[in-house]
Structure 1
Amino acid sequence: MYSVESLLSLIKKTPLTKPLRILNVCGGHERAITRAGFRTLFQHNIHLIPGPGCPVCICPEEDIAFAIHLALNENVVIVSFGDMLRVPIDCAIDGCDSLIAAKNSGADVRPISSVQEAVSIAIGEPEKAVVFFAVGFETTMAPVAAALLADLPNNLKVLLSGRLTWPAVAHVLRSQKDTFDALIAPGHVATIMGCEEWQFVIDHHDLPVSISGFHPESLLLSIHALIKNCSSRVITLNNSYPEVVKHHGNSAAKTLLKTAFTQVDAHWRGIGVIPRSGFSLAAKLSHLDVTNHYEPIDSSSRIIQTGLKTPPSCEQVILGQMAPDGCPFFGKECIPASPKGACMVSDEGACRIWYSTGERSVIEVIEKGNTQKVEIKS
């Protein structure tokens, strides 16, 4: 087993002819990278760029708006993962621009940490209609699928906003050709979907990819593997999380996802519609779909512009085009206590992570092949 010290030594000894731009997709990876201080250690030579790996950050505003509408105007209990309650939207629904604002206005909105809690609430309060606002990637959606396929109380319905990770990564790589040199893929998603899910990065984008866990050793193993790939001009799929990730993934979890959901075109906040990137309830579970039980928002009378538009820099951060501290609102108008954009809400959002840890990064954008050294903010 490699130590952090030995891996850092190996990385330092591996020659690089130009700065290396590595896209790290997962919010959990970004949190681990930042807390470990890797950017300070690597400085000018290796640039770790956060991507669209925070499900709270990319949850579309229309789904949040509908959840707010249900909470305020229907006799329902809204339950969702804690971070979702604080995500702001640009258009207020009956004066509320977030689920926490709806809660403060008297709506029954409750934070939960698992789908089992949603089921327990519905069982414990059978006289109430309970709506589970389900947000997340494959890792979260697998246990959600297992719960939905089991016997559920009749008063539980679902507002589903689940997403698949790889189509968004493919979109980022396709739309920003020659911007990145390598990719760190999320180990928890690969645990479900398998190493093979990331072969497209090599086949269609000619970039090396390494699947990583969340401890420093695994991340450094991935970074070292990618540096070696780029230095030797050999493109491979590396698994730096072999204790958990297998080639074909978790067959039981994949079966649950395939049985409970269908893949559909889906909207990603800050990105747009990505083909076949979303989960929709399978026909056999359509009775759980809350949109089949309640009318949509009456936009002419319910939606009010708040005047606090999400800054375009949020989109740039999500797409890996801008470092969080490049946003003019970062740490000023936009802080965790009063977020202006979704990236400042979740502990997997790049802006929240950087603000909370004091992370500062490269100011200038380094184009691929540019060997210019850039200054690191102190």
Structure 2
Amino acid sequence: MKHDARAWLEKIHALDFDRTVKIMNVCGGHERSITHAGLRGVLPKWVELVPGPGCPVCVCPEEDVYQAMQLALQDKCILVAYGDMLRVPVNVKKGEIRTLAEAQAAGADVRPIASPLDARRIALDNPDRPVVFFAAGFETTTAPTAAMLAEGIPDNLSILLSGRLTWPAVAMLLGSFEPSPGSPGFDALVAPGHVSTVMGPEEWNFVVDRHEIPAAVAGFAPESLLASFYSVLRQLKSGERFLDNCYREVAHPGGNATARRMLAATMDVVDANWRGIGIIPDSGYALKPAYAQHDARLLFPDHTDPDRRRAGEMPPGCDCAKVVLGKIYPNQCRIYGKACTPRNPVGPCMVSDEGACRIWWAGGVRVTADA
């Protein structure tokens, strides 16, 4: 039987826990829906919703952003990227260019795009110039890049790939890569709907099977999110443990077979760096050797500068890594709403529409937790 949001809320309130229950919502899109719909304000006081690592802009390695900037500034490439990436700051000396948007203002040819097809079109329109697509994202945005590669792309188009897989970050939080697992900091998990649409909901079975933590896949409407909250809370109450799919109309078993085939045909899964977090095993995508002629990492100089202060790290004072890992809430960051605002973002979580800090600010949280 299908319930509306009010009915799900009534069912949640009827459960009545005598302790705080923390539910991690992995997806940045979920966090945006939760905040904009005001769900935290209508849930019982004993429910805490913890934003998780589901913002690709937030975890994109700082050195990849720096490399993209140098390709545009020094190698005179046409550099195309998804719009959010243009405002992500890197760690350079005061007064130096620190974002792709600033590089654009300084004369570099940097262009925001909405899809890989835009990159392909720009390359075709500029056959005499090298075009580099800075492709940062999770499975949902990496799959279209894989499809474009598989179908064939212009000779002058290369990919600076910074794709990441979502589940390994959650596995790391659950202690899968540690000798002695510690407390993950949450009691239940709401898994991302769009990633499950591509990769299949069963990708999240490990949360239940290995760690005995309730999990549910959710969509982005309040009804689906509330259904997933009720599911994991009911599991905690009853002692049951299973992966529930509260997004059945879109997320089907096995995911999108074509998308998965394209990913497997064009990319390898490799150990990868997450900004401020470090290397997570089997968490990134790299182009297969067969596509070396389109791999910007191989075609252009490596502009890594070991003399850069804090290269690869979060900016000074920025707690974005803790926010991404669900260790603190956005307004518990030391510089939230002070040095760091959407107008002048210091950390990547204040840049993207999927960044928890940006979402909380847009939702009206304008002061730090200690204010």
Letter in 2 for 1:139: T
CA distance, structure 2, for counterparts of residue 310 and residue 18 of structure 1: 36
Match of 1:191 among 193, 197, 209: 197
| Pairwise CA distance, 1:309 | 2.7
1:360 to 1:340, Cα distance in 2 relative to 1, 3 A: closer
CA distance, structure 1, for counterparts of residue 284 and residue 5 of structure 2: 37
Aligned to 2:87: 86
CA distance, structure 2, for counterparts of residue 339 and residue 308 of structure 1: 12
Aligned to 2:178: none
Aligned to 2:125: 124
Match of 2:183 among 164, 173, 177: 177
C-alpha distance after superposition, 1:337-364 (max 9, x if no partner): 1101000000000000000111489959
Report if the CA contact (8 A) 1:94-1:304 is conserved: no
Counterpart mapping for 1:131-142 below 5 A: 131-142=132-143
Report if the CA contact (8 A) 1:270-1:318 is conserved: no
Task: Report which stretch shifted further, 273-282 or 35-44.
Answer: 35-44
| Pairwise CA distance, 1:112 | 0.5
Are 1:219 and 2:225 matched, yes or no?
yes
Match of 2:288 among 282, 285, 288: 282
Are 1:316 and 2:316 matched, yes or no?
no
C-alpha distance after superposition, 1:253-294 (max 9, x if no partner): 111110110000000012110011000001111110012111
CA distance, structure 2, for counterparts of residue 147 and residue 341 of structure 1: 31
CA distance, structure 2, for counterparts of residue 256 and residue 300 of structure 1: 36
Letter in 1 for 2:277: I
CA distance, structure 2, for counterparts of residue 345 and residue 178 of structure 1: 26
Counterpart mapping for 1:69-80 below 5 A: 69-80=70-81
| Pairwise CA distance, 1:95 | 2.1
Aligned to 1:164: 165
1:300 to 1:123, Cα distance in 2 relative to 1, 3 A: same
Letter in 2 for 1:77: I
CA distance, structure 2, for counterparts of residue 108 and residue 219 of structure 1: 41
Task: Report which stretch shifted further, 101-110 or 309-318.
Answer: 309-318
| Pairwise CA distance, 1:176 | 4.9
Identity %: 45
CA distance, structure 2, for counterparts of residue 77 and residue 28 of structure 1: 30
Aligned to 2:63: 62
Report if the CA contact (8 A) 2:158-2:296 is conserved: yes
Q: Secondary structure, in 3 states, of the residue corresponding to 1:103?
A: helix
Aligned to 1:260: 266
Aligned to 2:213: 207
| Pairwise CA distance, 1:312 | 4.4
Report if the CA contact (8 A) 1:69-1:93 is conserved: no
Letter in 2 for 1:232: S
Letter in 1 for 2:131: V
Report if the CA contact (8 A) 2:191-2:216 is conserved: yes
CA distance, structure 2, for counterparts of residue 82 and residue 356 of structure 1: 18
Give 4+ residue runs of structure 1 displaced > 6 Å after superposition: 304-308
| Pairwise CA distance, 1:304 | 6.4
Task: Report which stretch shifted further, 6-15 or 20-29.
Answer: 6-15
Aligned to 1:111: 112
Q: Secondary structure, in 3 states, of the residue corresponding to 2:174?
A: helix
Task: Report which stretch shifted further, 272-281 or 173-182.
Answer: 173-182
Report if the CA contact (8 A) 2:58-2:352 is conserved: yes
Report if the CA contact (8 A) 1:69-1:297 is conserved: yes
CA distance, structure 2, for counterparts of residue 312 and residue 172 of structure 1: 20
Are 1:341 and 2:347 matched, yes or no?
yes
Report if the CA contact (8 A) 2:33-2:220 is conserved: yes
Are 1:294 and 2:295 matched, yes or no?
no
Letter in 1 for 2:185: T
CA distance, structure 1, for counterparts of residue 154 and residue 298 of structure 2: 17
Name the count of aligned residue pairs.
364
| Pairwise CA distance, 1:15 | 2.9
Are 1:354 and 2:360 matched, yes or no?
yes
Aligned to 1:25: 26
CA distance, structure 2, for counterparts of residue 308 and residue 184 of structure 1: 27
Letter in 2 for 1:135: A
| Pairwise CA distance, 1:106 | 0.8
Report if the CA contact (8 A) 1:95-1:304 is conserved: no
Q: TM-score when scaled to structure 1?
A: 0.92
Are 1:230 and 2:231 matched, yes or no?
no
1:308 to 1:28, Cα distance in 2 relative to 1, 3 A: closer
Aligned to 2:43: 42
CA distance, structure 1, for counterparts of residue 228 and residue 192 of structure 2: 11
Task: Report which stretch shifted further, 338-347 or 89-98.
Answer: 89-98
Q: Which runs of 5+ in 1 are unaligned?
A: 365-376
1:92 to 1:161, Cα distance in 2 relative to 1, 3 A: farther
| Pairwise CA distance, 1:100 | 0.9
Are 1:149 and 2:150 matched, yes or no?
yes
Aligned to 1:367: none
1:362 to 1:232, Cα distance in 2 relative to 1, 3 A: farther
CA distance, structure 1, for counterparts of residue 90 and residue 326 of structure 2: 21
CA distance, structure 1, for counterparts of residue 182 and residue 306 of structure 2: 38
CA distance, structure 1, for counterparts of residue 223 and residue 200 of structure 2: 21
1:300 to 1:273, Cα distance in 2 relative to 1, 3 A: closer
